[in-house]
Amino acid sequence: MDADCPFCRIVAGEVPAQILRQTEHVVAFRDINPQAPTHILLVPKEHLRSLEEIGEGHESLLVEMIQAAVQLARADGVDRTGWRLVANTGADAGQSVHHLHFHLLGGRRMAWPPG
């Protein structure tokens, strides 16, 4: 855990969040500044700064995060119309919290290319 990381503090229960799902390794909660009607963040409980810290042994964590995203998309009803799963890595990509996380976005038409 990184005491300065807002996502670590949510995982630890020190900061309130609308938790939608929690497993041994993953926590999912609503974004406090949603960019779409459905905007859910999925974070590993382990503090990893970004996708660049993924290595051998993290395969099951990534599968668990993606499976959780699929289940949450279904639960929110965006599986019928489409949804996007995004991981920003680094400042130029828009990563503002340096704890690996996926954004699950849906409930509106998405533009391409993003950004």
Domains of the chain by residue range: 6-106
**Helices and strands per DSSP (H, E), number in the chain:** 2, 5
Q: What is the CATH number of domain 6-106?
A: 3.30.428.10
Q: How far apart are CA 57 and CA 7, in angstroms?
A: 22
pLDDT digits (tens, 9 = 90+) for 3-61: 899 999 999 999 999 999 999 999 999 999 999 999 999 999 999 999 999 999 999 99
**What are the backbone dihedrals phi and psi of residue 90, each rounded to the nearest 5 degrees, phi first?**
95, 160
Per the residue annotation, which of 25, 39, 58, 101 is the catalytic one? 101
Residue 115, pLDDT score? 67
Mean pLDDT of 80-88: 97
User: Is 101 a known active-site residue?
Assistant: yes
Q: How far apart are CA 37 and CA 28, in angstroms?
A: 16
Contact 27, 10 (CB under 8 A): yes
CA dihedral sign of residues 70, 72, 78, 80: positive
Contact 26, 65 (CB under 8 A): yes
Predicted model pTM: 0.95
